[in-house]
Amino acid sequence: MNAENLLFMILMIAFPFYLAAFVLYSIRIVKGPTIFDSVLAVDCLSFDLAAFIAILAIYFRSAFLATSAIILALWAFLLDLYLAKYFLKREVGI
């Protein structure tokens, strides 16, 4: 078995798990009885998407696409902090 077929096989085993996990996280975002559940699910979705982007960059064979992962991992953090601060103080700037 040559290397490209091995890579293709590994990725074909891994992709359905990731896509199913995205759908399940989306169901939790939609269902979430409180806002905190939804935010937690958005958080997990973004971090896992960062991992998925890095793996897809190997599949697409393009180095320029891998930069987005680092940005996505940094930015999902901001949403959590803002919602938490809103619930803590009701006024974000203090």
DSSP letters for the chain: --HHHHHHHHHHHHHHHHHHHHHHHHHHHHH-SSHHHHHHHHHHHHHHHHHHHHHHHHHHT-GGGGHHHHHHHHHHHHHHHHHHHHHHHS-TT-
Q: How far is the CB of 26 from other proteins (least distance, A)?
A: 5
State in angstroms the smallest separation of the CB of 94 from other proteins: 5
Rounded to the nearest whole angstrom, what is the least distance from the CB of residue 60 to other proteins in the complex? 7
Q: How far does the chain reach from its first CA to its final CA, in angstroms?
A: 61
Within positions 18 to 47, which residues make up the interface with other proteins, using CB under 8 A? Answer: 18-31, 34-47
- Least distance to other proteins, CB of residue 1, Å: 10
Q: How far apart are CA 56 and CA 23, in angstroms?
A: 18
Q: Is 74 in the site for other proteins (CB under 8 A)?
A: yes
Binders of other proteins in range 47-66 (CB under 8 A): 47-51, 53-58, 60-66
Residue 5 engages other proteins in binding (rule: CB under 8 A):
no
Number of residues that bind other proteins (CB under 8 A): 82
